Amino acid sequence: MDFPEGFLWGASTAAHQIEGGNVNSDWWQREWGHLPGAPVETPSGDAADSYHRYPEDMALLAGAGLGTYRFSIEWARIEPEDGWISRAAIDHYRRMVATARELGLEPMITLHHFTNPVWFAREGGWHADAAADRFARYVEAALPVLDGVDLVCTINEPNMVSVLADPEVGFPSIGLPPGVPAVTDRLVDAHKRAVDIVRAAGARAGWSVATQAYQPEPGAEAVAAEYGRSREDVFLDAARGDDWIGVQAYTRTKIGADGPLPIPDDAERTLTGWEYFPPAVGDGIRNAWARAAVPVYVTENGMATADDSRRIDYTRGALEAVASCIAEGADVRGYLHWSLLDNYEWGSYRPTFGLIAWDRETFERRPKPSLAWLGEVARANALR
């Protein structure tokens, strides 16, 4: 299976999940009990210390043969207090971009990956009427980081931000809560304003959506369509007219007459408890391509497992689905694996998604066979 010329191969990370010491973010404050929220098993702490070790991490990625690194910049570091911009943080992320370039990596920058400055959260976060204004101000301040960067993701998984925006709703045992309409509207507004700012600076802008591969049982097509509307489709529709759309896929959700169905008892599960289903990325690509009608990048896809051979099997299956979508006519331009490193999975270090492991005491990096395998695929630009 050959992939198109110029197809991007790489891996993704998120600042809070690997940097460590993100003390001015709302997630850090929740982890330590200073903001309301569900208790966590383990706080993020030093994470993978990639704030300091990013040159080594990028070198491992480039050395394996992969050419693109998607990473996020941290709003809470750049604007730790309302209206005050840290020049040191801007310079840090500029050095990251420069390091990627020196190593021959194409940097894809994510401006918002779940975490917010604690001052933003205390003033209502995405529930506040001023949210889009505050985000646009941050994007303007971050423009020096984007100098020479081609691909910029405004907001990571805005649909997950919306479905988790009402803590009183709670998280159902099966499926996801519906999106919060007012939060969705503010996210779409913030995204569109960020797209204008980023385009004016010379980059191509889009956002990434967590596609759920909603698969209706016979007769439940209307139920699945309604279920997916606030949880996925409105965010794909909002990407019409963007430069690209990111698809992030891991598993599927089967829908019956009454809504989401439980995972069968005999199904293989990953360390996150999700069903092992590599073709999910194909469902996500098809829905994104049909609704947004802009070029598609797979900005996240992977498997939480302690068995690296299963990670390779999963990725092979996912890439077969990507290739099938391309053969059907979808304009898919890249595949970025989640994640470059084992990371902090929002409360725990147990789910391991990384192509690279690391020692929790010494931070020594330990590349896994899957990194070399994916690098070989990238060098060949083909799945053999």
- Mean pLDDT of all residues belonging to the chain: 97
User: With 90 as the cut, is the pLDDT of residue 169 above it?
Assistant: no
- pLDDT tens digits for range 96-117: 999 999 999 999 999 999 999 9
- Over residues 43-57, the mean pLDDT reads 98
Q: What share of the chain in percent tops pLDDT 90?
A: 97
pLDDT of residue 37: 85
Evaluate whether 77 touches 90 at the Cβ level (below 8 Å). no
pLDDT of residue 83: 97
pLDDT of residue 260: 97
Chain-centroid distance of CA 216 in Å reads 25
Strand order from edge to edge, sheet including 259-260: 214-216, 253-256, 259-260
What is residue 228's DSSP assignment? Answer: H
| 159 — pLDDT class (breaks 50, 70, 90) | very high
- pLDDT tens digits for range 266-325: 999 999 999 999 999 999 999 999 999 999 999 999 999 999 999 999 999 999 999 999
State the first-to-last Cα distance of the chain, in angstroms, to the nearest integer: 7
User: With 90 as the cut, is the pLDDT of residue 173 above it?
Assistant: no
User: With 90 as the cut, is the pLDDT of residue 58 above it?
Assistant: yes
Residues in the chain: 384
What residue ranges define each of the domains in the chain, with the CATH number in brackets?
A: 8-380 (3.20.20.80)
Evaluate whether 337 touches 355 at the Cβ level (below 8 Å). yes
User: With 90 as the cut, is the pLDDT of residue 200 above it?
Assistant: yes
| 171 — pLDDT class (breaks 50, 70, 90) | confident
What is residue 70's DSSP assignment? Answer: E
pLDDT of residue 167: 83
Residue 157 catalytic? yes
Nearest to 195 by CA among 82, 300, 112, 94: 112
**pTM of the entire structure?**
0.98
pLDDT of residue 168: 81
Q: Which is the catalytic residue, given 157, 232, 275, 345?
A: 157
| 129 — pLDDT class (breaks 50, 70, 90) | very high
Joined together, the tokens standing for residue 74 give 């941290």
**Element holding 298 (H helix, E strand):** strand 296-301
- pLDDT tens digits for range 202-254: 999 999 999 999 999 999 999 999 999 999 999 999 999 999 999 999 999 99
